A and B are shown apart, each in its own frame.
Chain A
């Protein structure tokens, strides 16, 4: 998931002609003031923290200003915020518009129907989760046909807009559909979409680009998203790595097996700290890299659960023993391994010789890992 900050989403919107308030980005109170004095943003204006979490209005991360002093004060206050764990580094200043109505509009994927889904509601400006199901209009778009005119009229009807506003909405819907497809978005959301005068204006922009399509979008390569430093390194090495709040590191191969391992670990009182999915690799180099990355997360113990299908258990074991030697003595941790499948006898022998607790039974090995990390909580 590449979540784009509001200003970045709006940059995409602008490219496709989506109507937006006049605005600019600032990274300091001085820049905010200059945005107004330089004529980029007229007063009164709205100043918004550029963070990825929702609920900014209620959290004091959106403020209004009518004078330069108020702009400076609001910018200073918001830039000092830590919003839901995220330090505010950027502001978006925009003109304050005379809003007649606030609507909701989003484009997303319906996994069950395997169709893009447009959701629209006349109740915009509030969290869509709090809107009653009957108040949300749903339109499934066939990917070959694209968004049809009759579907756009249906959406206008749900939103209760007519005349020139409906014409403006019609153009917007076509633009958003193109963005959803061209930019490989998994979400394009505008909440609120404002009715201003004779047209609609996107007051907010929430755009999430699909990770798997990143190869088509080098322009987003710099976006760190909400990953931790180690998660970022793992991503570059193409290792699935998630940091949780416990103290036991889990290495497994395959997402399902890794999740099942975490489930069993938790059942026996262990607290998973890092989740590392080796995937389908049988490359000893990658096993070593993954192990060293795990060491940097400083787990109290590591539990390794591998099912070797095509991968040979002895190859994995050798890679592991090699990797252990490379971890500095001060960072060493107890390792419990459960390896099953191809050549498991040989693999287990190699690990036991290197002093690794190596068991066949999942329950027993999980209990050993929990004990090695200081016992069940």
Chain B
């Protein structure tokens, strides 16, 4: 078992004819994912990586029974793509696109929510469950190894680095979710933690946070009251000066809240094991598992 995606996941790629869409369709298929359809308005009839392209998501769903979408379309059209996917009945949408205006994302989030659909992202690397050979997103295939560690992260490449580090230490992953670094995300740590709590194939969760916002502080509160599995946490950005934009709109320190220290303190107080640097994570995971008698 895994979280959100599994062998029954059938993916439609929105924006499949673009560069990213093509590259990652190939990668997802190489991972073992069932990529069943692509959508680019006006380009139906062709195939990309042997995947049929349709004009609309509704058509793609009708013909291929796609049940998850990944969106690569440019930011100005991302809102439309999400609305179309939700209206076509897709209930899991991963948005890789970056630079979506947050006002658009507010509409997208509340629209999806009203239809009981789940958004992962935007500006995120997506989800992968190596044991189920299912990936919806762009996390490089090479970093994974099936196992029992769950990973929830706000970062992209840092996640790859950390998952790769786990693999090199023989620590495989159950499911890895990249939440995205934007101010408004469809799924936060608090949304994702219960899935891992209920996943019998996850023994421990690695949480990778960033400065900005209060998502990690809220996660700490959740862990304290509701999460029974061990958590190893890392937060990037302790050296960032206040107010400067560090590449993610979300990573702005304002009014003393949202600092790396405030997040780490909250997580420590909630019982999480905290890594000061990313390369400490594998050892900390191994020690924590050993202490709990899970290895």
A258 to B248 Cα, complex, angstroms: 11
The answer on a CB contact under 8 Å between A256 and B214 is: no
The answer on a CB contact under 8 Å between A111 and B181 is: no
The answer on a CB contact under 8 Å between B103 and A213 is: yes
Could you say which residues of chain B place their CB within 8 Å of the CB of A307? 157, 160-161, 164
Selected interface stretch from A19-27, A35-43, A85-93, A263-271: A263-271
Among A211, A254, A265, which residue has the most Cβ atoms of chain B within 10 A? A254
Q: Give how many B residues have a beta carbon under 8 Å from the other chain's beta carbons.
A: 62
Nearest CB in chain B: distance from A355 CB, A: 26
The answer on a CB contact under 8 Å between A257 and B246 is: no
Check if A73 is an interface residue, CB within 8 A of chain B: no
The answer on a CB contact under 8 Å between B241 and A260 is: no
Could you say which residues of chain A place their CB within 8 Å of the CB of B239? 259, 262-263, 265-266, 272
- Given A129-B255, A310-B27, are A262 and B240 neighbors across the interface (CB < 8 Å)? yes
The answer on a CB contact under 8 Å between A255 and B110 is: no
Looking at the complex, which one of B98, B110, B249 makes contact with A144 (CB distance below 8 Å)? B110
The secondary structure that dominates the A interface is mixed
Check if B117 is an interface residue, CB within 8 A of chain A: no
A362 to B168 Cα, complex, angstroms: 14
Check if B143 is an interface residue, CB within 8 A of chain A: yes
Could you say which residues of chain A place their CB within 8 Å of the CB of B103? 143, 181, 184, 210, 213
Could you say which residues of chain A place their CB within 8 Å of the CB of B158? 254, 256-257, 259-260
The answer on a CB contact under 8 Å between B181 and A255 is: yes
Which residue of A has the minimal Cβ distance to B212?
Answer: A111
The answer on a CB contact under 8 Å between B155 and A255 is: yes
Check if A114 is an interface residue, CB within 8 A of chain B: yes
A242 to B238 Cα, complex, angstroms: 16
Chain B positions 260 through 295: 1 when the CB is less than 8 Å from some CB of chain A, otherwise 0: 100000000000000011110000000000000000
Check if B75 is an interface residue, CB within 8 A of chain A: yes
Q: In the A-B complex, list the 10 residue pairs whose CB atoms are closest, starting with the nearest.
A: A256-B155, A309-B140, A254-B157, A255-B247, A256-B158, A213-B101, A240-B247, A259-B236, A266-B239, A257-B157
Interface residues of B (CB under 8 A from A): 23-24, 27, 75-76, 98-103, 106-107, 109-110, 138-140, 142-143, 153-161, 164, 181, 183-184, 188, 208, 210-211, 213-215, 218, 234, 236-241, 244-251, 255, 260, 276-279
